[in-house]
Structure 1
C-alpha cells in the first residue's frame, strides 16, 4: 500500500522533497499559495493545489486528515509555518516534519508538537564542512545534537589492518556498524573484529560528534 504525503511549500527544499517522493512512487499532495509553483508540480505530484495552509477549513477540505505524513516546508514566513504546524497537530496528523529557519523557530515547533524539525541549510553546511576536511569523508549525517553517522573511505592508515588492530571503539569511542568492501557489492553489516580493511573500503561509523571529530582528524586523513 502506497504511503500518502503532503508537502506544504514548494520552494527549493519542499520542491526537492516533492520530486523525490514522487519519483519513489509515493502519493504526494503538493500545496503552495503561489500559482506558478503549483503549476510546476502538476505533472510531478499526484495532486497540486493552490491553498493557504494556515486556514483550518481549507486543510479539512483538502482531506489532510487522511495523509500519513505532512512536510511543512514554508520558506521565510515563520508565522505561517508555526500556524500550519499547529493546525496539523490539532487535526491529528500522524507525523509532521517541519523546516526551521533558526533555533528559536525550532524551539517553538518542538513545543507545539512537531515530530521532526530539520535545518536543511545548516545541516548541508555541516556535511560540506566535513567533506572539506578530508576527501576520504564521503558523507556526514547528524542523528541528534551530539551524535552523527559518517561514511568514510579507508586510506593508507587503515589498509591491511583489522578492526582489532585499529581498535576504533576504544581509541576513538566510535563504532563501525558496516563495511562495504571495495571489491564486493554486498555491505557487511556488523562486521567481525577480525575483518581486514583494504584501501578504498567504505566504513559506516557512528558515535558522538566529539569522538567522530577526533577519529576524522587522526585516522581518516588524506593520503600523502
Structure 2
C-alpha cells in the first residue's frame, strides 16, 4: 500500500491518494472510515455483493486492467458525508467532493446519421450540466480534476469522431455555466475510450480554486485551432 499527499487547500485540509490491493481495501471496510471520499475500482467483479447506492462510496471505472487488482483510495483530513443528485453519486467533506456520473447512451451510437445532436454529444452536455448544478448547490464550485470514459472514443458516427462529439457537448455546458471566461480555472482532465455503452465521468471538486498548469512549449488544448475539430477540448494540462 502506498499513499501520496495529492494536494492541500488554503484552509489546511489535505487530500491523500493511496494505491492498495482492491480486495484488501474492501475487506477492511475502508469506507466505514469517516474521512474516505471514495474508492475507485477498475475490476467490476470485485464489487459483486457490494452496494452501489449513494452511500457505498464505490466508484466503478469501465476499464479492464490486466495484472494486479489495484484500487485508489481517496481520503481527506475532514469528516465525509455521502450524497446523491440526479444521476450523480458523491461523497464530500467541508471543502472537497469526489463524485461520479454514469449516463446510458440510449440511442445506438451507430443508428443513422441524422440524429442532431448526436447521442454522445447530448450525454456529455447533460453530464457536465448535472455536475455544475451540483457544485453550485453544495458550494464546491471549483472543478479541479475530471476523468472521462467514452464508448469507442476514436470511432465515428454522425459524420464525426466520438471524442469530437464529446468535446462539443462538454464545451456547451462550460459555456452555459460561464466557465470559460477564466482560463486559469479550466480543470485538468483525461479522456479514455471504453467498450462500454455508457458515458462515465468521475470528478474532484472543491471550495478552493486550483491554478491550471500548461506547458509553454505546447498549445493549450482549449486553444486548438478548428482543423482539429469543431471545438477545442476543454481541459488544462494539470492543476
TM-score, normalised to structure 2, is 0.27
Q: Between Structure 1 and Structure 2, whose CA radius of gyration is higher?
A: 1
- Higher relative contact order (Cα pairs below 8 Å, separated by 6+ residues): 2
TM-score, normalised to structure 1, is 0.29
> Of Structure 1 and Structure 2, which has the larger fraction of its residues in strand?
2
